[in-house]
C-alpha cells in the first residue's frame, strides 16, 4: 500500500511541476494574445491595456500562476481569448473525443499485440514469425505522418470513408444504431492509423518478453511434465512476462496520446490536438496550458493505473 501511496504522491508532484513548467514557458513569450490587436491602429492603446488588465495579463508571474492554480483546483481553467468561453467545457468536449479515439485504439492495439506477440514467440524462427517480423519492421519505419497521409489518400480516392470530422451532417436525426454506425465509420480511419502506428513496437516487445520467459528453466520443466503447450504459454509463461508488459502499457499510453495529436490533425478528428494547435497559433494562453495539463493528467493517470496493475500482479513489489 505504501508503494501505491508513494507513486501517487510522486505523480502529484510531477503534475505540479508540469503545470509550473507549462505556465512558465508561456510567460516567456514576448507578446501575447493581444499583441496583434495592438497593431491595429483603430484600437487605442488604452483599450488594449484595459483588456489585458481584465484578463489579468499585466500582473507578475507568481501572482498569475497563483491565481491560475487556485482556479484550477476549483475546476476553473480560465477563459479562452479566441472563443470567449471558459476553457474547461471547451477542453472537456475535446478531451472526450480524444479519449474515445485513444481509448479505442489502445484497447485494439493491445488486443492485437498480445496474441500476435505470443504467436510470434511460440513460432519463433518459422516462416510466419519471419513474415510477421518483416511486416512489423516495415510498419515501424514508415513515419507516422506518412502513414496518416496515406490513410487520408485512401479515404479521398476510394470514398469509402469520410475524410474528417466525428459525425455527418444530420447526425442528430439518426437512431441509436445509425448514430453508432456513423460514429464508427468516422472513427475507423483515425483509429486504424493510431493502431498501425503504435502496434509494431508493442508486438515486438510482447514477443521478446515471451521469448525470454519461454527460455526460463521453469518453463522447460513444465513442458517436461507433459503440460500441453497452450497451457504452458498462457498459464505459465504469460503471467511472468506480464510484468515488463504492464510497464510497457504505461509507456504505450504516452505514445498513444502523443501520436493521437498528429492523427487528429491529419484526419480532422475534433480532439484536443487541433484545439491545441489553433490555440498556439493564436497564443490563447489558457487553452494551451489547459490542453498540456490535460494530456499530462491523462498520462500520469495511465501510469498510475499501470502501477496499480503491477502492484496487483507482481508479488515482489508487495514484499516491500
Partner 1 sequence: MHYFSRQIRGFGWTDVLTQRQKLAWAVVALAAFSGVVLFAGFFAPYDFATQDRDTPFAPPTAIHFVDAGGTFHIRPFVYGPGDSGQSAEGSAQGSDQRYPLRWFVRGAAYKIAGLATSRVHLFGVERPARIFLMGSDGYGRDQLSRFLYGGQISLLAGLIAAILSVSIGILVGGIAGYYGGWIDELLMRGGELFLALPWLYLLFAVRAALPLHISQWQVFLLLISVMGLIGWARPARLIRGVVLSAKERNFVLAARGFGASDAYLLRRHVLPQTYAVLLTQVTLLVPQYVLAEVTLTFLGLGVGEPMPSWGALLTSLQQYSVLSSYWWMFLPALLLIPLFVVFYSAADALQELHKSVPL
User: Which residues of this chain interact with partner 1, rule CB under 8 A?
Assistant: 14, 17-18, 21-22, 25-31, 130-131, 133-134, 137, 140-146, 149-150, 152-153, 156-157, 163, 201, 204-205, 208, 248, 251-252, 254-255, 257-259, 261-262, 265-266, 276-277, 279-281, 283, 288-289, 291-292, 295-296, 299-300, 303
- For partner 1, the closer of residues 31 and 315 by Cβ is 31
The residues facing 86 across adjacent strands are: 79
Which CB atom, from 232 or from 293, has the smaller least distance to partner 1? 293
Min CB(272)–partner 1 separation in Å: 9
Closest separation in Å from C-beta 178 to partner 1: 25
Instruction: Take residue 277 and report the three cell numbers written for it.
Output: 494547435
C-beta closer to partner 1: residue 35 or 221: 35
- DSSP β-bridge partners for residue 46: none
**Closest distance of CB 290 from partner 1, Å:** 11
Q: What is d(CA 205, CA 100) in angstroms, rounded to the nearest whole number?
A: 25
Pick the closer one to partner 1 by CB: 13 or 180: 13
For cell 475535446, the residue is 94
State how far the alpha carbon of 143 is from the alpha carbons of 138, 140, 153, 190, in Å: 10, 7, 15, 15
What pairs with residue 79 in β-bridges? 86
d(CA 89, CA 244): 37
Nearer to partner 1, 50 or 134 (CB): 134
**Cβ 143 to partner 1 shortest distance, Å:** 5
**Residue 229, Cβ neighbours under 10 Å: how many?**
10
Q: Which helix (H) or strand (E) holds 155?
A: helix 144-158
CB of 179 to partner 1, least distance (A): 25
**Closer residue to partner 1, CB minimum distance, 100 or 255:** 255
Q: How many residues does the chain have?
A: 320
CA distance 243 to 308: 12
- Between residues 152 and 187, which has the closer beta carbon with respect to partner 1? 152
DSSP 8-state secondary structure symbol assigned to residue 275: H
Q: Which three cell numbers stand for residue 43?
A: 484600437
Find the shortest distance in angstroms from Cβ 227 to partner 1.
29
Distance CA 212, CA 222 (A): 15
Closest approach of partner 1 to the CB of residue 255, in Å: 4
Amino acid at each position: 500500500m505504501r508503494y501505491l501511496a508513494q507513486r501517487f504522491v510522486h505523480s502529484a508532484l510531477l503534475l505540479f511541476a508540469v503545470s509550473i513548467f507549462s505556465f512558465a514557458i508561456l510567460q516567456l513569450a514576448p507578446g501575447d494574445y493581444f499583441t496583434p490587436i495592438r497593431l491595429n491602429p483603430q484600437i487605442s492603446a488604452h483599450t488594449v491595456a484595459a483588456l489585458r488588465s481584465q484578463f489579468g495579463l499585466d500582473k507578475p508571474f507568481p501572482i498569475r500562476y497563483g491565481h491560475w492554480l487556485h482556479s484550477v483546483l476549483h475546476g476553473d481553467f480560465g477563459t479562452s481569448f479566441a472563443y470567449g468561453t471558459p476553457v474547461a467545457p471547451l477542453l472537456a468536449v475535446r478531451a472526450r473525443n480524444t479519449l474515445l479515439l485513444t481509448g479505442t485504439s489502445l484497447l485494439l492495439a493491445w488486443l492485437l499485440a498480445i496474441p500476435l506477440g505470443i504467436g510470434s514467440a511460440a513460432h519463433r524462427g518459422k516462416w510466419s514469425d519471419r513474415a510477421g517480423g518483416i511486416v512489423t519492421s516495415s510498419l515501424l519505419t514508415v513515419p507516422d505522418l506518412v502513414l496518416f497521409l496515406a490513410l487520408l489518400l485512401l479515404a479521398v480516392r476510394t470514398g469509402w470513408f469520410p475524410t474528417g470530422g466525428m459525425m455527418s451532417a444530420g447526425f442528430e436525426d439518426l437512431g441509436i444504431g445509425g448514430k453508432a454506425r456513423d460514429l464508427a465509420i468516422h472513427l475507423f480511419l483515425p483509429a486504424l492509423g493510431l493502431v498501425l502506428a503504435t502496434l509494431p513496437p508493442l508486438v515486438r516487445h510482447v514477443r521478446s518478453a515471451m521469448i525470454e520467459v519461454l527460455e526460463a528453466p521453469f518453463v522447460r520443466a513444465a513442458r517436461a511434465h507433459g503440460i500441453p503447450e497452450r497451457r504452458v504459454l498462457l498459464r505459465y509463461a504469460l503471467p511472468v512476462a506480464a510484468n515488463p508488459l504492464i510497464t510497457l502499457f504505461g509507456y504505450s499510453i504516452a505514445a498513444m496520446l502523443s501520436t493521437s495529436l498528429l492523427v487528429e490533425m491529419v484526419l480532422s478528428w475534433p480532439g484536443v490536438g487541433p484545439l491545441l494547435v489553433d490555440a498556439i497559433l493564436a497564443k490563447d494562453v489558457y487553452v494551451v496550458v489547459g490542453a498540456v495539463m490535460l494530456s499530462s493528467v491523462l498520462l500520469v493517470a495511465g501510469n498510475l493505473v499501470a502501477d496499480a496493475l503491477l502492484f496487483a500482479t507482481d508479488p515482489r513489489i508487495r514484499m516491500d
